[in-house]
Amino acid sequence: MRIGVLTGGGDAPGLNAAIRAIVKRCGHYGFEVVGIERGWAGMLEPQTIELNYDNIKNIVGKGGTILKTSRTNPLKISGGAIKVADSFKKLGLDALIAIGGDDTLGVAKVLSESGLNIVGVPKTIDNDVSETDATIGFDTAVNTAMRLIERLRDMAESHERTIVVEIMGRHAGWIALHSGLAAGADLILIPEEPFKI
């Protein structure tokens, strides 16, 4: 079998670890793995790299994604879905693994429903993808925020001040909730629970 893998959307910690795990597991079964560079853009105008044990050995500690990424959505481009299907065939793919957030996984779902063999792997620091406990990138985001909050708390106590911290997460309060609880915040406001100041 020949498996393609791409990373789409914004950056998140853990992308290279996911790529490495896919290559190792596929290698265990004797599957060939091809990396699609620049997310869905790499399926519109194929740019690929063969992935094997030799070129994934030391990627876990690297930031970003060795496959590069983009926010290209082929469904918003005239004839984009057809181009992706054509590339799927030209590249000889039996399946494609798309690692991404809402947009990347939305494209994967639509293309999968049209008959392409595509699997989505959720990746977003926001952890706002349903049907999963934790997405790739979420744990690192929580731990980074928690360390920041702990440092700010120490400073606030020594100066007898109140500190307000705004955490990333778009419309989801998961990072704020988990990092706030772990750091011992006095109050945590999240978008899922309306509040007035």
pLDDT tens string for the chain (197 positions)? 999 999 999 888 899 999 999 999 999 999 999 999 999 999 999 999 999 999 998 999 888 999 999 999 999 999 999 999 999 999 999 999 999 998 999 999 999 999 999 999 999 999 988 888 899 999 999 999 999 999 998 888 899 999 999 999 888 999 999 999 999 998 999 999 998 87
Q: What does the alpha-carbon distance between residue 13 and residue 36 come to, in Å, rounded to a whole number?
A: 19
DSSP summary character for residue 123: B
Strand blocks (E) in 103-190: 118-122
Q: Cite the DSSP H helix spans in 45-137.
A: 53-56, 80-90, 102-113
Angle (nearest 5°) at CA 21 between 135 and 61: 80
**Tell me, what's the pLDDT at 109?**
96
Contacts of 88 (CB under 8 A, 6+ apart): 4, 43, 96, 116
**Tell me, what's the pLDDT at 1?**
96
> Does the global pTM surpass 0.85?
yes
In the numeric block, which tokens belong to residue 189?
Answer: 């406001």
Angle (nearest 5°) at CA 50 between 49 and 52: 135
| 31 neighbors 126 (Cβ within 8 angstroms) | no
Residues assigned a catalytic role: 126
Q: What is the CA radius of gyration of the chain?
A: 20
| 2-122, CATH topology level | Rossmann fold (3.40.50)
Domain with CATH 3.40.50.450 in the chain: 2-122
**Tell me, what's the pLDDT at 61?**
86
